[in-house]
Amino acid sequence: MKGHIRKRGKSSWTVYIYRGRDEDGKDRYDTFTIRGSKQDAEDERIRQLGKLAEGSYVEPSRLTVGDFLRQWLRDCAEPKVTTKTFERYEEIVRLHLIPNLGQRRLQKLRSLHIQSYLAEALQRGRKDGREGGLSPQTIRHHHRVLHLALKQAVRWQLLTRNPADEVDPPRVPHREMNVLTEEQLQVLLNLAKDSELYIPILIAATTGMRRGEVLALRWSDIDFERSTAVVQRSLSSTRGGSRIKETKSRRGRRTVALLQTCLAALRRHKADQGRNRLRLGPLYQDLDLVCARLHGTHMDPAEVSSGFASIIRNSNLPKVRLHDLRHSHATHLLRQNVHPKIVSERLGHSTISITLDTYSHVVPGMQDEAVQKLDAALRAAANKDRE
């Protein structure tokens, strides 16, 4: 006998699936509760038997979504991702996913439950004491984390399919990219000239490096003879303080050519740093950092961003973030007809398509110029042929 059904209430049934005998020789059954008609229960019995035959059967479990997510964080996420990424995962799970979905049994979680949660979070999902919902981008992060966790549940044979597959997170509205012109960038550099942020801002603006990459740069990464810098580490802020990590991908580890103006500023900065190291003596902690505090230690990423915001706030420049210097650099290169492949390699993008998608606002102008050049070339060829 493979299984049977038994009526429980007015419109509920128990489906019994025979699983053989236990160690004591007693028959062992898995049970599933079905609400609906007798035919619904019979269909479920046949469906479960089909899974048993094809090897995709999952034993029923009382494991809740909350207990599973905690185990996933501990056993799967924490050993694999960076400290910063894990902290973000843990925050999403603890503050949002568990309070809203954690009490449900994992095997009872449906796409509708997840979709309803995302819709509710869009309207009333804030946890900072203020009214309102979370941004579409934040909600997409929540969906991505939950999808990643439930994908592992399928691998662990706790689920037969991932219910997050059929969920549509909200669309993120297009946001116009903020960039500085070459003239505005020069104004910014003049404003920062006498501050400790001058070198980080200069490097970010002329190389397209990310904030963490700039702050993790060491003098040993700089080749003054070849005018290059090797990007191979990044500094990030975690609950335990700032932490250096290797770049996430092979593309992220790259060699970037430096502008002569940047090289000249770096030479002066290195000399100033050397004099300060001699002045402080044993009080100076030499970590070989290009961008360092007075005593040689790491600059705090959050403080660098807030300091940059203060400079922008006290100027007549457009409201841009430190990260927008990276966008500005890429935009300047593309407008100078630098090939997108070179820009992609300079930024450390994994594919050229990411560069083209990110900076699509520049491409139309490049196309217009390319068409004009082609038109001029064809006209010249036609005139030459007539001669």
Residue 20 exposed, middle or buried by CB count within 10 Å (0-12, 13-18, 19+): exposed
Supply the DSSP symbol for 362: T
Domain assignment present for residue 255? The answer is yes
Residues 114-151 have pLDDT tens digits of: 999 999 999 988 887 788 899 999 999 999 999 999 99
Mean pLDDT across 101-107 = 93
Residues 172-186 have pLDDT tens digits of: 887 778 899 999 999
- DSSP one-letter string for 252-290: TSEEEE--HHHHHHHHHHHHHHHHHHHHHGGG-----BS
Mean pLDDT across 108-117 = 95
What is the per-residue pLDDT for 275? 95
What is the per-residue pLDDT for 367? 60
CA atoms within 13 A on the CB side of 71: 13
Return mean pLDDT, the chain. 89
Residues 321-375 have pLDDT tens digits of: 999 999 999 999 988 888 889 999 999 988 888 888 888 766 655 566 666 767 7
Pair 104, 146 in one domain? yes
What is the per-residue pLDDT for 306? 96
Pair 98, 195 in one domain? no
- Among 270, 289, 322, residue at a domain's last position: 322
Are 269 and 203 in contact by the 8 Å Cβ rule? The answer is no
- Among 322, 350, 380, residue at a domain's last position: 322
Give pTM, 2 decimals: 0.72
- Among 137, 166, 195, residue at a domain's last position: 166
Q: Residue 156 belongs to what domain range? A: 65-166
pLDDT band of 256, cuts 50, 70, 90: very high
User: How far out from the chain centre does Cα 83 lie?
Assistant: 13
Give the list of residues 6+ apart from residue 37 with CB closer than 8 angstroms, or none.
11
Q: What share of the chain is helix, strand, coil (3-state, %, to 5)?
A: 55, 15, 30
pLDDT band of 188, cuts 50, 70, 90: very high
Q: In this structure, what token pair is assigned to residue 164?
A: 């997050």
Lowest mean pLDDT, pick from 52-66, 195-209, 212-226: 52-66
Least Cα distance to 33 among 57, 56, 5, 64 occurs for 5
232 three-state secondary structure: coil
Question: CA geometry: angle at 82 spanning 221 and 161, to 5°?
Answer: 140
Mean pLDDT across 275-291 = 95
Residues 65-84 have pLDDT tens digits of: 999 999 999 999 999 988 88
Q: What proportion of the chain, given as a percentage, has pLDDT over 90? A: 59
Domain assignment present for residue 28? The answer is yes
The CATH number linked to 212 is 1.10.443.10
d(CA 303, CA 215): 12
Pair 189, 94 in one domain? no
Pair 131, 205 in one domain? no
Residues 287-327 have pLDDT tens digits of: 999 999 999 999 999 999 999 999 999 999 999 999 999 99
Pair 148, 193 in one domain? no
Question: CA geometry: angle at 351 spanning 349 and 354, to 5°?
Answer: 75
Pair 191, 291 in one domain? yes
Pair 153, 200 in one domain? no
Count of other CB atoms within 10 angstroms of residue 149? 22
Pair 229, 296 in one domain? yes
